[in-house]
A and B are shown apart, each in its own frame.
Chain A
Amino acid sequence: MATTLTLKELSKKEDRFTHGHRMCSGCGAPIVVKIALMATDYPVVISNATGCLEVSSCISEFTAWNVPWIHTAFENAAATLSGVETMYRSLKKQGKFDREVKFIAFGGDGGTYDIGFQSLSGAMERGHDMIYICYDNGAYMNTGIQRSSATPLGADTTTCPAGSVIPGKLRSRKNLTKIMAAHNIPYVAQASPSHWQDLAKKIQKAHEIKGPKFINVIAPCNRGWRSKTNDAIMLSRLAVNTCYWPLYEIENGTTKITVTPKQKLPIVDFLKPQGRFKHLFSPENEGLLTQVQDEIDREWEKLLKEAKTD
């Protein structure tokens, strides 16, 4: 039976991602991992792309993982896990293994949107029974805040710095959640650590659906976002309430918005507390700021329509 999603019940569960990892104070990623594993009521095998989470959670001879865990390289968490899952199916078919196991891959946005995109797309298309969870902090944070295809328009990173001529990133984010939905897999969702019950519910639901599942979770990085150490939950909530990061799911092609902001806040509320957007508030970048708001409005309207039509 699935764990009831109350803090009281969750606190009784064993720690599968334990204390002692070396993620930065205030990082969003370990919160995502903890919630995902708390919402997993099965034995589980984890595949982890190279990145912050991986280098900080398993440094020889210590591991924070209390479940089987494998890291091989940067671009192939999905392919690696597809191998583990295939061996599991083979052994089960041959009567050499009889337990039920779930499979989760974790990758950052670099390892998912960019270098791991092909591997992810291939594994999803092949139909492996797994959940791929992207913790999206909007840049290559592990190597020191370099631009990825998840970096938002206008953001200042070390490879698209806000300079005197170019005001940060000039391209918009790739909408990976929708791209994964276009794979026609049974379940795709977007979630946020601020709405932990919504995230946990999506994980529980995904585990009960056979086949490939993709969940994209925003994961604030105070180092890269140039925000306060204790702002991760506040910022991820603002991401939801400004509709920068809408919470929705697409189940068998049907779109459902799972959390609708009571009041849609202006995007500046999300951008203001983050140093990476500081330059957008200079008078000469007013146009860029308007462009950011316009894009968010347009995407949100599109999503509302899709949810209504479906």
Chain B
Amino acid sequence: MAKVVAVTGNEACANALRQVNPDVCGIYPITPQTDMMQRFASYIADGKVDTESILVESEHSSMSACIGAAAAGGRVVTATSSQGLALMWEMLHIASGDRLPIIMPVVNRALSAPLNIHGDHSDAMGARDTGWIQLWSENGQEAYDNTIQAFRIGEHMDIRLPVMVCLDGFIISHSIERMEYLEDQEVKDFVGPFKNFLPLLDLDKPKSYGPLILTDLYHEYKRAQHEVMTKVKDVVLDVAKDFEKLSGRKYGIFETYRLEDADIAIVILNSAAGTTKDVIDEFRNKGIEAGLLKPRLFRPFPFEEVAEALKHVKAVCVMDRADSFGGYGPLFMEVASALYPLERKPLLLNKVYGLGGRDYLPSHAAQVLTELHEISRSGKVNVLKEYIGVRE
């Protein structure tokens, strides 16, 4: 039986972690994640979980300790944001290279300089090449649901990869929403007991983790990582099917909204998708066929499916809450790559919005949709990449 609650995104993720009851967790404070792991720390203090915490002295040590714990053989979690994720960068590659299914909510926040504690996607986008699976979440419900599903995905015996669950800093992490919790036992059964694979604590069969691999085998090792990523999509969909049976909530590798017959579309991640959907409704009421695609699985990126979903659209704006300075926004680059093989491609443009917590307003979505509508009629893109919502 689902329980209806009014909680923040951080609270929901902490509750998901409590329900999963991992063996070890790394805890280190960083805004806006802090509140998630301090809630989890109180579950430990109150004996509500069996988890042993490691109260590390940095995020680098947090990820290092999580890697050691996961290699030892057990279920491991941590959470971070922004500079913390950046400090972990070196170890993120090692977690995935060692094929350790660590689960980590990432409460998305801007990167310094200048220092800014508010939400954007620069942190997780900077970690997109680290070999982690990335699930993105529009709201607290999705963050909760993704956190639970992440264990089944990462720990799948064909996958064994770490998973980041991304949710927007403050906008989701600190806003109270109505959502539904699963029962503790339902989550426990859904996730199942942790299955070990080559644990370091198997004393009778000693293993060496983290060898030096030179020119003879490194290339093959990396290809194996590439190959396992190609299997992730099917596992994500299988897990989503089981989750739907349990919760009634349907998940795919991305969500589409009024996209099937759309002439123009916005591709956008996380919380801004909600605002965009409302404005799309307004445009539909005015007779403009607008739609939306919201990626859920960003790594691995589902290129073929995204192309299939967008191929009939006349003009698409990919909206990035992060920038690759001197390049296009990271989401744009993926969508452009996805559309390239199509013979008849939608016209494509890139808007950068909402950096460092700058509000993304319905008027911004309306501005973009109006421009897309004009482009769909004129067939002409004036500015390919542009910042919106800028104070001039």
Contacts and interface: CB of A to CB of B under 8 A. Distances in A.
Given A70-B200, A126-B54, 9 more contacts: A68-B206, A72-B209, A76-B61, A81-B68, A83-B65, A85-B68, A93-B52, A99-B203, A118-B61
Interface of B: 23-24, 26, 50-52, 54-58, 60-61, 64-74, 76, 90-91, 94, 98, 200-203, 206-214, 216-217
Contacts of B209: 69-72
A58 B212 contact: yes
Contacts of B216: 60
B217 to A, nearest CB: 6
Contact of B91 (A61, A73, A93, A94): A73
Grouping DSSP codes into helix (H, G, I), strand (E, B) and loop, the B interface class, with mixed when no group exceeds half, is mixed
A54 interface: yes
B94 A72 contact: yes
Given A58-B211, A58-B212, A86-B69, A73 B61 contact: no
B48 to A, nearest CB: 14
A97 interface: yes
Given A72-B64, A73-B64, A84 B72 contact: yes
A72 B208 contact: no
A122 B56 contact: yes
Contacts of A123: 61
B54 A83 contact: yes
A61 B26 CA distance: 31
A82 B65 contact: yes
B351 to A, nearest CB: 38
Q: Which of A45, A81, A89, A93 has the most CB of B within 10 A?
A: A45
Q: Which of A55, A73, A75, A84 has the most CB of B within 10 A?
A: A84
Contact of B201 (A58, A68, A79): A68
Contact of A76 (B70, B76, B91): B91
Contacts of B61: 76, 79, 82, 118-119, 122-123
B74 to A, nearest CB: 5
Given A54-B212, A70-B210, A90-B50, A83 B91 contact: no
B201 A71 contact: no
Contacts of A75: 60
B214 to A, nearest CB: 7
A80 B64 contact: yes
Contacts of A93: 50, 52
Contact of B68 (A47, A65, A125): A47
